[in-house]
Amino acid sequence: MERISEVSTWRAYAEHQRSLGHRIGLVPTMGALHAGHTSLFDAAKRNGELVVATIFVNPRQFNDAADLRAYPRTPGADAALAEAHGVDCLVEPTLEEMWPQYPKSTPTTVSVGGISESLEGAGRPGHFEGVASVVAKLLAITGPCRAYFGEKDFQQLAVVRQMVHDLGFDVEVVGSAIVRDHDGLALSSRNVLLAPPQRTSALGLSRALRAAEALAAPASIVRETMLTILEDSGLDVAYAEVVDPITFEASSDDESGERRALVAARVGGVRLIDNATVTLMAKGD
């Protein structure tokens, strides 16, 4: 496995690999790798791609300095796990390489309107501008590729897809299913920050979604059901919402069919998110 930290070397590596006939599968991460990340590496490998994984904790997508400081960093374990799952090149750019002017603001920011403004966007001001900006830079450096993202960050995936479409990147965005632990908790790098009692409370997110999946009811009933379960689990709820999976507009009680349920909550100061597909039945049907 090759390891690169310079942007110029990374760009040259990708160009050279394409000249040899390889198709690149890019997996952007912030490190603290787990089975959710390795499922993306494995998916790219199954598709016959040369796998380039990036590890960069992007400060521009954190609106809370304490959250940035607390974000887990496990570089040695990350490199071993990436290599074990067939990553061909691990890119670990420095902050100076990615955002030379940091902590001063970077003049250029990529902003995706509409779908980025609700839910995570509303609760974490500036978050999706940071995400879109860093992903745009990762894609610009790597060049034509397939880019793999997990569906746990479902709104992020939608923002990236919209950006790629609007800006005309020669990139195919691939979403991969959420990977869960044995108890149903969606895998997240932040899970390691949970004490055992907090982890038990955090299971309320997946319980709320399972209950929503079992319903065929109007959107308001689905929301109320999820919110009750989250609150009964002792979680500090940020939202329990049902939306159109493309536009992210909140669903009304007049709608039927498949929609996306998304939940977010804090437990012990740790912010967790999860989501699932649900089926709505319009009121009166």
**Catalytic one among 34, 37, 85, 127?**
37
Phi-psi sector, 43: left (phi>0), alpha (psi -120 to 50), beta: alpha
Report how far residue 74's alpha carbon sits from residue 3's, in angstroms, rounded to the nearest whole number.
16
Measured at the CA of 106, the angle between CA 102 and CA 107, to 5 degrees, comes to: 155
- Find out whether 81 and 33 touch, Cβ atoms under 8 Å: yes
Nearby residues of 16 by Cβ (< 8 Å), 6 or more positions away: none
| Strand residue runs (E) in 132-223 | 145-150, 171-176, 216-217
Report how far residue 276's alpha carbon sits from residue 17's, in angstroms, rounded to the nearest whole number.
37
**Six-digit token string for 125:** 């001001």
What single letter denotes the amino acid at residue 210?
Answer: R
- Find out whether 10 and 142 touch, Cβ atoms under 8 Å: yes
37 as an active site residue: the answer is yes
| Strand residue runs (E) in the chain | 2-4, 24-29, 50-55, 89-91, 145-150, 171-176, 216-217, 236-243, 257-267, 270-280
- Give the residue numbers marked as catalytic: 37
